[in-house]
Structure 1
């Protein structure tokens, strides 16, 4: 405990780190305040009956938006349109040669792609805003609409939702530039954590009610949740190391190379992206259905505990894991870089044989990683089937838990880097904290 207090003091004594923490907290608080501002034309008092009642994929969307979706807030769409646009642009820059050239132009190319991403975010937000307006006109929310404001409701809502998403996007960029950690990831994590106390209390109340199982069952659930988190940390940080040797070079009187290093192949190289891709694909029919989930097929897609949903979801996650890993991981490029720097894998010829070897190792490592990722994705539905309340079950796995674990690891890694740079002790005595920064350059880390 004494060491922990000393570490906190060290963190606060570093001026740069203290400023980053203050800026990050101020911007996150601003975001949380914005989620409670209700759209014009809606009576906030009439929303009490439907607040927090969204379930399935809409519940997940609401969780990412920090509850703003169900509260009909001006930030109801949150950061998700920007993430969708960023993912699309990231794939385009990898798959389209013209965009690859622009990306390689350096800072100017990056600014162009960022600007196009913002334009695409506006288009995505306007499209989703139209669907959200239809959702607000459904039973439950329709009663909260103020009749006198109805002629202006559609246009004002589209403008405000678009402005709200752009504001959240700006907050995320400012946190990344001036604060601590990845801004977009932190905004999503804060939205998820905002619902944890309420979900925790609901689960505790449910277990203490008649026939709920009592405190013992609740303690067992907490123990299982802690075990799942520990397993996720292993999944996020797990690597398969390939030994790399570098040939000795003598220049003048100095010797270079001859060192032995390792090429780390992550078990989960794709990070949380396959789960987000899978949920995005499943969510598309919901958007085209104007958020109407009453149909039989839509009920399956919005029920996490449904067996068919789990099967479809698992297949999509495994498929996208291999697809995204193949996109971001290029064995041929790695083999060329090794050859250029006089590096080689012991027992493997340089060039194409090295690329084939790295590719085969990557495939073998990706398979268990993909299966574990799919299992993590369906854990909330499994927990719900076993009697855990809907809100609390979402913390047993899926995107929510993966993002929280990954973002916390990344943030702690940045804090530890600042401490070690100034010759303070790190946060861990058993070794350095590893984050996900080398995994992906996507907006969610």
Structure 2
């Protein structure tokens, strides 16, 4: 009796997949190594103290860069300029007619949009690195020798580091497994996870936090992770029928039924990133001014928008809802989808092709986006609730949790696709040998 073969058992024979996985590991090693290469002219002790005091947006950037900002390394900006440029290009491609035409040109149009994204990355990298250099010079003692030479070296070093990470991410996408930029962000977030877990366990050991509370926190983390996996995998499948087609010699093919899959969360992690950036910018900018404590209204605004405050939580949830609808509207065009269905001879049962189909898809998408907005708000506010209620040093939550789960799911799907393609290639080779 023949036994069924396990796809993972043939992993040792997958030379190409092993090479791709080794390339990913090597690229992540290079990324982590670069986060410890410091820029010249910065006092590392005072820089770490500045990040600890500022919090806010700098804390989020430091998390995404894997601690590179705290150490002021050449990778301090991380891939944030590239992500911002990509989002801007996507928005322009959905609004500007000439850029919309580029999206429909296939590979050539995609290359042009990629060129625009790279140029935007350079511009944003220069702008942000200049802002970082100027801000550091205003902090007493952080810069060892302030002056134009420090600004020039910092701008060149940070921009070059961002461009190298952009190139490294593209190489991982092309020669590795999964999306390279997402994997670099994933590596930066996960790099701080062990320290957070050890710190939490240390609090339980010293009695600062009860052991039962620590167990409940870890159980909540697991439950939220499972919930995120469930929601990110969820789809609303709209039934689609293809019209009867007349074949040769008077033969008629029966109607074929398929489905149009619509993800529950089409906006991904963009809404939480945008919302947190907007809310944390005032508090971060206020920390740049030496006389911020003397301005009463600025001090009140900073304290009210601090994470965990009621005003911050309400505005954070509201902005997530707004950006969820806004970004979904930019990335998915119901009328274009309806036109594509009409051109392919497909229709939704009970609906006329064209405008009626587009209105139906728009209604379904609106309801799905509402569910996605509530889901994102719930996941992103759980860390703040735990901080307020139990004073938990909650690191793995909110935006970081969403990014990690989505990247792991995509990475797993890519590996499964390689395994399936290898099985098909083996079957085709066996069929050719038998045919001969």
| Fold match by TM threshold 0.5 | yes
Counterpart among 359, 362, 372 of residue 362 in structure 2? 359
User: CA separation in 1, counterparts of 2:25 and 2:414?
Assistant: 16
Any conservation in 1 of the 2:56–2:284 contact (CA below 8 Å)? no
CA contact (8 A) 1:64 1:191 kept: yes
Which has more helix, going by share of residues? 2
Q: Secondary structure at the match of 2:236?
A: strand
- Report the equivalent of 2:417: 417
The CA deviation at 1:255 is: 4.2
Pair 61,181 (structure 1): closer, same or farther in 2 beyond 3 Å: same
Q: Say if 1:244 and 1:345, in contact at 8 Å, map to a contact too.
A: yes
SS at match of 1:245: strand
Which residue does the alignment assign to 1:438? none
Q: How does 1:26-175 map to 2 (within 5 A)?
A: 26-44=26-44, 49=49, 55-137=55-137, 139=139, 142-147=140-145, 150=147, 152-175=149-172
Q: Distance in 1 between matches of 2:181 and 2:225?
A: 22
Q: Give the whole-Å Cα distance in 2 for the aligned partners of 1:360 and 1:103.
A: 25
Task: Give the CA deviation at 1:203.
Answer: 1.0
Equivalence map 1:304-343=2 (5 Å): 304-343=307-346
Is it true that 1:376 corresponds to 2:379 in the alignment? yes
- The separation in 2 between residues aligned to 1:316 and 1:119, in whole angstroms, is 29
Q: Which residue of 1 aligns with 2:227?
A: 231
Equivalent residues of 2:129, 2:158 under 8 A apart: yes
Q: TM-score normalized by structure 1? A: 0.86
Structure 1 gap segments, 5+ residues each: 1-5, 425-445
CA contact (8 A) 1:128 1:287 kept: no
TM-fit CA distance, 1:389: 3.4
Write the distance in 2 (CA, Å) between the matches of 1:19 and 1:314: 43
Name the CA shift for 1:360/1:103 in 2 (closer, same or farther; >3 Å): closer
Please tell me the root mean square deviation across aligned C-alpha atoms, in Å.
2.3
Which deviates more from structure 2 when the two are superposed, residues 224-233 or residues 260-269? 260-269
Distance in 1, matches of 2:215 and 2:222, equals: 11
C-alpha distance 408-204 of structure 1, shift in aligned 2 (>3 A): same
**Aligned partners of 2:342 and 2:354 also within 8 Å:** yes
* Deviation (angstroms), 1:166: 0.7
Contact 2:308 2:384 in 1 (8 A): yes
* Alignment partner of 1:298 is 2:299: no
Residue pair 2:56, 2:281 contacting (<8 A) in 1 also? no
Q: Distance in 1 between matches of 2:334 and 2:103?
A: 20
Q: After alignment, is 8-17 or 116-125 more displaced?
A: 8-17
Give me the whole-angstrom Cα distance separating, in 1, the residues matched to 2:319 and 2:157.
34
CA 1:14/1:257 → structure 2, altered by over 3 Å: closer, same or farther?
farther
8 Å CA contact 2:186–2:404 kept in 1: the answer is yes
Contact 2:51 2:59 in 1 (8 A): no
TM-score (norm 2): 0.87
What CA distance in whole angstroms lies between the structure 1 residues aligned with 2:12 and 2:307?
43
Structure 2 spans left out of the alignment, 5+ residues: 1-5, 425-436
The Cα offsets for residues 40-70 of structure 1, whole Å up to 9 and x where unpaired, read as 0124466565676653322111100111111
Partner SS, residue 368 of structure 2: helix
Contact 1:53–1:70 (8 Å) recurs in 2: no
1:279-290 correspondence to structure 2 within 5 Å: 279-285=276-282
Aligned length: 411
Do the aligned partners of 1:131 and 1:287 also contact (CA within 8 Å) in 2? no
Q: Which moved more, 1:287-296 or 1:216-225?
A: 287-296
Per the alignment, residue 219 of structure 1 pairs with: 215
Of 327-336 and 412-421, more deviation after overlay is shown by: 327-336
The question of whether the paired residues in 1 share the 8 Å contact of 2:304 and 2:312 is answered with yes
* CA-CA distance at 1:399 after TM superposition: 1.4
Q: C-alpha deviations, 1:70-94, integer Å up to 9, x for none?
A: 1111111110011111110110011
Q: 1:388 to 1:192 in 2, by over 3 A?
A: farther
Matched, 1:240 2:236: yes
